[in-house]
Amino acid sequence: MYTLYSFPGAGGVAIEAALADAGIPYRSKTVALEEKDCDTTEFLGLNPRGQVPVLVLPDGSILTESAAILLYLAEAHPDAGLAPPPGSLEKAQVLRWLCFFAVNVYEGELRRHYAHRFTTTDDGADAVAAAAGEHVARQYGLFEAELSDTGPYFLGERICILDYYVWMLSYWVGDRTWLVRDCPKVEALTRAVRERPAVAALHAAQLA
């Protein structure tokens, strides 16, 4: 069975949603990374970067990087329909936007959330966070322009790993007023994910 290490509201929730929705058995373990002075020695053995999510595979292999974990699950469980077939043009577009969100939006959110790590001056964090927030908002605008009018998901009626990723990330922006106003297709996508029976409880517990 898979073991997913994360903490509430962190990057593991997209993976947990994909696993739960696809009916793939897993157990989840909460890591107390955000608690001051917590002893993460055991966890650092799994991921020396000290970050979640981490997925431990049934044979004990360790996977880190949220986008890679989602891609792995889609390929390891082809019957679950978590992504289009390898080599298809649809898969290429899912890969493209998954990388786009991992590199631009997830990393932008990290700059916003951990702004003090991205400056060498005592008073630089607020400016880093503000610039990161603007950067993230611009990325959603680019994705909005790419979405079809049919929806609700990136591929239309069929959900895929990218949708879970965008749902999770979109709830990290904090005040979603601008997202609802400027990116209605992204908002509809994230609402469709949120309302799925297997996702609703995760949403309420970790992102609401």
Ligand X SMILES: N[C@@H](CCC(=O)N[C@@H](CS)C(=O)NCC(=O)O)C(=O)O
- Residue type present at position 208: A
Residue 110 Cβ vs ligand X, minimum distance, rounded to whole Å? 5
Structure tokens at 200: 């609703």
**Cβ at position 182, least distance to ligand X in Å:** 24
Helix axes 12-22, 161-170, angle to 10 degrees: 140
Residues belonging to the chain? 208
Rank residues 34 and 195 by Cβ distance to ligand X and give the closer one.
Answer: 34
Whole-number Å distance between alpha carbons of 160 and 136: 22
User: Residue with the closest Cβ to ligand X?
Assistant: 51
What is the contact surface with ligand X in residues (CB under 6 A)?
10-11, 33, 50-53, 65-66, 102, 106, 110
C-alpha–C-alpha distance, residues 158 and 91, integer Å: 13
Rounded to the nearest whole angstrom, what is the least distance from the CB of residue 160 to ligand X in the complex?
18
Backbone angles phi, psi at 156, to 5 degrees: 100, -120
Q: In what order do the strands lie in the sheet with 62-64?
A: 26-30, 2-6, 54-56, 62-64
Yes or no: say if 171 and 136 are a contact pair by the CB < 8 Å rule.
Answer: no
Sign of CA dihedral 182, 185, 190, 195: positive
**C-beta of residue 6 within 8 angstroms of C-beta of residue 13:** yes
Nearest CB to ligand X, comparing residues 51 and 190: 51
Q: How far is the CB of 12 from ligand X (least distance, A)?
A: 8
**128 or 185: CB nearest ligand X:** 128
**Shortest Cβ 53–ligand X spacing (Å):** 6
Closest separation in Å from C-beta 141 to ligand X: 22
Backbone φ and ψ for 168, nearest 5 degrees, come out as: -60, -50
Residue (34 or 182) nearer to ligand X, CB: 34
Q: Of 66 and 170, which has the nearer Cβ to ligand X? A: 66
Which residue lies nearer to ligand X by CB, 16 or 65?
Answer: 65
